[in-house]
Amino acid sequence: MLVSIAPTLDRPKWLRAPAPTGQNYRDLKGLIDRLRLHTVCESAACPNVGECWNRRTATFMMLGNVCTRRCGFCAVQKGAPLPVDYDEPARIAEAVSLMGLKFAVITSVNRDDRPDGGAELFAMVIRAIRQRVPGCGVEVLIPDFQGNLAAVETVMEARPDVLNHNTETVPRLYRQVRLGARYERSLDVLAYAGQLAPHIPTKSGLMLGLGETTGEALETLRDLRARHVGILTIGQYLRPSPKHLPVVRYVPPGEFEELRRAGYEMGFAHVESGPLVRSSYHAERAVT
């Protein structure tokens, strides 16, 4: 039975994140501003920015902070994309070095204006971090590149430690949640990355609370495992503003735990599942 969409829901008391304060947070914000970088932590209004930045971890977002798609869930600015900054990978590598990171997570806005969707810059930043900080692990969270498999090859040839691409929601909700994306195309990207380099783990994430049923969520997990995805994140959708899709349901922690167990039973090597989990949350745990 489908859940009807409610205009507004009060956020439950158990769904709270610490405020972004503290010296580490201030130091990291200053560093990111000085190097003229963007993070998904700020641009996507991540609720974990306080926790993660105080642990001196961040998810860097390349290719500007303006996305060419208008997904109904995402807080990142939409519109005409910014010019490509080819010095950006070197500045990200500098930030990784200054932060003393042992594991870095890199993502980007969608750049449907570019033939390769920005794959060239992903490869450049992987290589820049490898050169500047040898031994640092690198996870890349890529867009679907509009199904351009040559772009996936470009990224995989640079040998990231983890290749992440989020399915975000169940196929029935794609038209309202992920404008411009296709469920099967996302699965194809993940499957092809795994075929190119079977030793590099693939990863995907799912948001709950948009109107999906538990059965649909489980079927999506099975689809991911059928493509040999090994790392899984499951979190609660939080509405960034009144202009975005409403929250249909706040999923209680017990259901996240049930999905975590189901994921392990299906064969996922690592599962992060909880209300505040995001795609890069505790990313290093999956490979260390």
Residue 55 lies in a domain: yes
Residue 5 lies in a domain: no
Q: Measured between alpha carbons, how far is 229 from 221 in angstroms, rounded to an integer? A: 9
Asked whether the predicted pLDDT for residue 25 surpasses 60, the reply is yes
Mean pLDDT, the chain, integer: 87
Amino acid at site 98 = L
Q: Please give the residue range of the domain that contains residue 177.
A: 23-286
Residue 17 lies in a domain: no
Asked whether the predicted pLDDT for residue 201 surpasses 60, the reply is yes
Residue 117 lies in a domain: yes
Cβ atoms of 28 and 56 closer than 8 Å = yes
Over residues 277-281, the mean pLDDT reads 82
The pTM of this model reads 0.89
Residue 16 lies in a domain: no
pLDDT value of residue 238: 87
Residue pLDDT, tens place only, 115-145: 999 999 999 999 999 999 999 999 999 999 9
Q: How far is CA 219 from CA 35, 127, 145, 194, 259, in A?
A: 42, 36, 24, 20, 11
Q: Measured between alpha carbons, how far is 230 from 148 in angstroms, rounded to an integer? A: 22
Residue 211 lies in a domain: yes
Question: Considering its fold, how many domains does the chain have in total?
Answer: 1
Asked whether the predicted pLDDT for residue 47 surpasses 50, the reply is yes
Q: Is 30 exposed, middle or buried (0-12, 13-18, 19+ CB in 10 A)?
A: exposed
What DSSP string describes 141-152? E---GGG-HHHH
What CATH number does residue 128 fall under? Answer: 3.20.20.70
Q: 79: alpha, beta or left, given left = phi > 0 and alpha = psi -120 to 50?
A: left
Residue 1 lies in a domain: no
Residue 12 lies in a domain: no
Model confidence at 4, pLDDT cuts 50, 70, 90, reads very low
Q: Which two tokens stand for residue 267?
A: 């064969």
